[in-house]
Amino acid sequence: MTQRERRLLWAIIALGSVVRIVLAFAAAGVTFDIDSFRLVGEALRHDPLHVYRLVNGGFILGGAQAYHWPYPAGFFPWILLTRELAGHTFLSFDGVIKLPAIAADAGLAWLVQDVIGRRGGSARARLAAAALVALGPSFIAVSGYHGQIDSVAILPAALAVVLWSRPGVQRRAITCGLLIGLGAMVKTVPLVMLLALLPTARRPREAATLSASAVALPLLALAPFLVADQHHVIHALRYGGAPGLGGLSLLVQPGLASNWLNATPLHLTSVSHELYDHGTVITGAALLGATALLAYRRVEALPAAVILWITVYAFSANFFVQYLVWGLPFFLMAGYLRGVALLEAVMVAPTVFAYGAPWKSHAVGVIYAVVLIALWLAWVAALLVTGRSVVRPRRPEVAQPA
């Protein structure tokens, strides 16, 4: 990159961060999630070891069990700090709580362009990739408005995937495992990236070290809560999302989208109930099958990560718009810039519909369902294409005459 191009890169990242910060403090965000942060903060101050019981008292949202905190404990320190800052400064709680996700988006924007550059991509491609994160509507909506912390969890896991295949990384099993574990302290989903690295472990000992390092940090952070209140902690961590806003649950009962977006009661069919109860089994089985194929072909970490995230999207029972943050950075690092740009454009309307609910018009729910079902079909098609590229036998090299 020339000096001018580097300045443009940092300007893009800075602009995206400023837009998010302004949005974070101007808009309260999604009430349920912001209230969840507040409840967790209060519980941590009054009875920290029983926070999972206090904030996840059994209640039903959208026809399914709902949880205010179904995640590990890694974000607790920031919640407490945010509570103190909001109580002793002019800064609002709902603005400060979003700052780590905003910073993580900036880190992801830098990381994706760096990877593209190291793989020989042009300066134009690097700037485009950074812009698709820094100025991408999907990323801005989640970190700047919603208040969710998916990018905080994904950034360390993305770095682990990058470092795993980079020459010269010392003790890569421990380094990459701890990075995945750091993300899993915030949300458990980064543990999926273990499956992207294991197929190219050099020996069983390295695979064991990688796995142990990845689970050590979240278990260590959860240990006091597990000792004090094992039942409620494990019960909360089994949360698999709410049915009807995307994924297989929307496919089997499309009318749920209108119920969500029009704020009308959800009535799950028997099939939807079964899918809700066993959806994680379906996703897990699909991931294990994909991992077996990746291990057989010894697929490198980044293309393996792409296939695994597509598998997650194709076989998840439930899908929220913020889940795109999980896979998009990996798609960009793999060079799928046009695909990500198209996906972000397509998701603008569903994102507005989801965050702008409730709506009076039932047409909103119909449009949302059509787009999300079409998106699911696209994930299935993408999985078939990428899977075929893995299983297709390689052509033997033909020796050239001397």
Q: Is residue 369 part of a domain?
A: yes
Across residues 221-239, what is the average pLDDT?
Answer: 92
What is the C-alpha separation between 55 and 33, in angstroms, rounded? Answer: 12
DSSP letters for 267-331: ---HHHHHHHHHHHHHHHHHHHHHHHHHHHHT--HHHHHHHHHHHHHHH-S---GGGHHHHHHHH
The pLDDT tens digits for 19-49 are 999 999 999 999 999 999 999 999 999 999 9
DSSP letters for 243-260: TTSSTHHHHH-TTHHHHH
The pLDDT tens digits for 247-269 are 999 999 999 999 889 888 888 88
Based on its alpha-carbon atoms, the radius of gyration of the chain, rounded to whole angstroms, reads: 21
What is the C-alpha separation between 396 and 236, in angstroms, rounded? Answer: 51
The label of the residue with tokens 């509507």 reads: 137
Contact 39, 156 (CB under 8 A): no
pTM of the model: 0.93
Q: Is residue 96 part of a domain?
A: yes
- Four-point Cα dihedral 85, 89, 95, 99, nearest 10: -50
Q: Is residue 398 part of a domain?
A: no
For residue 359, the Cα-to-chain-centroid distance in whole angstroms is 27
Q: Is residue 316 part of a domain?
A: yes
The pLDDT tens digits for 282-336 are 999 999 999 999 999 999 999 999 999 999 999 999 999 999 999 999 999 999 9
The pLDDT tens digits for 172-210 are 999 999 999 999 999 999 999 999 999 999 999 999 999
Q: Is residue 394 part of a domain?
A: no
Domain hosting 10: range is 3-389
What is the C-alpha separation between 180 and 160, in angstroms, rounded? Answer: 6
Q: Is residue 399 part of a domain?
A: no
Q: Is residue 215 part of a domain?
A: yes
> Crossing angle of helices 270-297/363-391, nearest 10°?
30
Domain count, the chain: 1
Q: Is residue 164 part of a domain?
A: yes
